[in-house]
Amino acid sequence: MKKASIILCVIILLAMAGLPVQAFGGDVMKGTPTVDGVLDDIYKQSFSYTINPQDNPVYITGIDAADVTASATTYFLWDDNYIYICVDIVDTSIVTVGADVINGQDYTWDNDVTELWFAAPGSDVLLINIDAFNTRITGSPTVTGDEGYIAKVGLTSYGYIAEFAIPHFFKVGDIFLFSTQVNNMLSVDPHQLACYGAQRAPYEFKLLATEVTYPVPEIIEEVVEIDPGEITVTVTPPPATTSPQTADAVSVAILMLGLSGLAVLGNKRKK
Ligand SMILES: [Ca+2]
Ligand SMILES: [Ca+2]
């Protein structure tokens, strides 16, 4: 039996047994989000996938994975400069080992952190890591934060969002390999930790030429209804003329009319 047929049979048997069949990646649309720890709406037009401790356990200690309410949905975009990865994480127990510990280690994994496992085909896997409080980018083989990677974290009402930008030299149609892993610490002491996802880059993601549609800025037209009784009309009189010639002309005309009127009356009385 050929290798492809064997893999297909394994997938079918897993599905028949009710076991989760892992996603194999997806197509990544072109689009430029804002790297700020907030999920841009344009991410939702591109591929995403969700993991949780029950279906994707890697390392669970001090707890039962079934008792952990957590999940992480990973979104993807790309442009000519960066591959953008935004991980929206449900975590009801956001804790940290502290900035001093994170800054004193090459790579902090036993914490609330989001890990990106990333590789070009045929290349070593790169690990980029950011903690839930955005303290510092770490990773391996050597990630110091000076390699051009960008990571921003924003807390939410249900957990946090970790958004990354990875500089690249890919082109349309290229494939990168990837997986998200989330390390969810439930408390600092005693040590309770649920790591879920994958500590490798098994999934294939293809870079599409198709671009997302950007939202059109909404123009808000506010209609204000006014009670006619509240309307006050102010009439500004025209400026008084200051032309002495015109004023004198009118005054002279009135005076002349008055004199002629008196003359007529005088003439009538004489008759
Ligand atoms: Ca964003
Ligand atoms: Ca946690």
Segment 115-152, tens digit of pLDDT: 999 999 999 999 999 999 999 999 988 888 788 999 99
d(CA 139, CA 135): 13
34-211 CATH fold: Immunoglobulin-like (2.60.40)
CA of 132 to the centre of ligand 2 (A): 9
The neighbourhood of ligand 1, an ion, using CB within 5 A, equals: 33-34, 36, 38, 40
Rounded to the nearest angstrom, the gap between the alpha carbon of residue 100 and the centroid of all alpha carbons in its chain is: 29
Residue among 182, 35, 159 nearest 92 (CA): 159
Global confidence as pTM: 0.73
CA of 57 to the centre of ligand 1 (A): 27
Helix, strand, or coil (residue 177): strand
For residues 65-81, give the mean pLDDT. Answer: 95
The C-alpha R_g of the chain, in whole angstroms, comes to 38
Judged by average pLDDT, the poorest of 13-17, 130-134, 183-187 is 13-17
Rounded to the nearest angstrom, the gap between the alpha carbon of residue 85 and the centroid of all alpha carbons in its chain is: 11
CA dihedral (186, 192, 196, 198) positive or negative: positive
CA of 65 to the centre of ligand 2 (A): 13
Query: What pLDDT was estimated at residue 228?
Result: 65
User: Over the range 52-74, which residues count as b (16 or more CB within 10 Å of their CB) and which as e?
Assistant: bbbebebebeebebeebebbbbb
* Digit-coded pLDDT (tens) for 201-259: 999 999 999 999 999 888 877 776 767 666 555 556 656 544 444 444 444 344 444 44
Q: Which two tokens stand for residue 254?
A: 């009135």
Contact 112, 131 (CB under 8 A): yes
CA of 37 to the centre of ligand 1 (A): 5
Cα of first residue to Cα of last residue in the chain, in angstroms, is 144
Contact 203, 25 (CB under 8 A): yes
CA of 5 to the centre of ligand 2 (A): 41
Q: For strand 203-211 and strand 25-30, is the pairing parallel, antiparallel, or unpaired?
A: parallel
CA of 118 to the centre of ligand 2 (A): 23
Phi, psi of 172, deg, nearest 5? -55, 135
Q: Where are the domains of the chain?
A: 34-211
Query: What pLDDT was estimated at residue 242?
Result: 46
CA of 45 to the centre of ligand 1 (A): 14
